[in-house]
Structure formats: C-alpha cells, structure tokens
Amino acid sequence: MSVIELVVATHNRDKRKEIESVLRPAGIRCLTLGDIGFTSEIVEDQPTLEGNALKKAVTVSGIALCPAVADDTGLAVSALDGAPGVYSARYSGPNATDDSNIRKLLAALHGVENRTAEFRTVVAFAMPNGPTFTVSGGVTGQITLEPRGTAGFGYDPIFQPDGVARTFAQLSLIEKNQLSHRARAFKAFLDELKRRNLIASKATSD
C-alpha cells in the first residue's frame, strides 16, 4: 500500500510545518489533530520517549482510523544527569511554556561550565489494528548562556548544535532541517516506510 495521508499527533503548528517540510517531497500529506476534530491532549505519562511517541500514534490512529505518526523529543543535558529528558516539554510544571522551560533550564545551569547537551527525537508510526514501529534521530550541541533567535519552538533559542555558530532559533527551516534531531528522525521514518513498502520506492528522504 502507499501511505499518502498521515495524521500527525500534534496541535503545534510550528512542529507540523517542520515535519511537513521533510515529508512533503515524498508525497505525504499531513493532517493535524485539529484537522480531525481532536481537541484533547494525550497525556504523555510513559517513562521513555519511545513509549510516549507510540502511545500518541496508536491513540490517534485508532481515533482517525488511518495511519498516524507521532514524535517525542527530549533534551538531555550532561551537567543535569540527562535532565530534563523525557520531561522536557513539561520541565517547569504542568502549565509549562517554552519560555518557562527555558528560564528553568538556564537557572539550573547558572555558573555551570559544562553545557553539553543532546537533542533526541523518537518517531512512532501506527495503523489501525496494524503494525507499529519507531525510529530516532539525534544531534549534540551546547546550551547557550541566553536565548538567541526567534524561529523554531521549544528549547531552540538556547540550543547551539555542534559545528554551527548559531542556535536552532537563528536558523532558517531549510538550514535546521539539514541537521536537526527531528529532521533526522523523520528522514529515518521515510526510509523505514520505504523498507516496509508503505510508500513508493521512488519517494526519497533527500
């Protein structure tokens, strides 16, 4: 079969835009939770990124009765023993925002010299009563002393990938998709869809 339409388990328009920019060249159309009338939040209560991504993909696929894809991303900071990790999205509490998460992380690293960190994204795919799988992608970098840039979302303003003099929030979407954890994970996702013959072999992740 050929997958030509997927529901992406997100309400985040910026995330959808980022994902679509990777999947669109393969002929995949993305719908969001809003497009299918799903207004609730899926509680991410699993202990791993893989668990959260699979829970969201399976839940949405069952509701939409079509293939669904979900991702979960964690920022692991070396000096904080891998925190915030799986709790990255809600690091500053149940009402966390991007700004509050960034403020808490910078406060936790105040005066800390070692600011190395790794972003890792797990992508999960599910079909109604069908197969599921996960793939992942990662990128290493440094946590900056203060936010820089206005693009992107999440921790992008304070994450500077290795070998780049700018944060993710200072990069264009095209530039970010050359090296980001999420782009790498979704390129691996496309490769897995091809390997399983779920999309035409002519579709590429280049």
Alpha carbon separation from 163 to 139, 142, 160 (Å, rounded): 11, 10, 9
Do strands 159-161 and 84-85 pair parallel, antiparallel, or not at all (unpaired)? unpaired
CB 19 within 8 A of CB 181: no
Residue 143's DSSP bridge partners are 159
- 35's CB contacts (< 8 A; 6+ apart) are 7
Q: Name the helix (H) or strand (E) containing 29.
A: strand 29-31
Question: What's the one-letter identity of residue 160?
Answer: Q
Looking at residue 166, the DSSP 8-state letter turns out to be S
Catalytic entry in 72, 81, 156, 191: 72
Active-site annotation holds for 156 = no
What's the CA gap between 69 and 118, in Å, rounded? 23
CB 88 within 8 A of CB 75: yes
Q: Annotated active-site positions, please?
A: 72
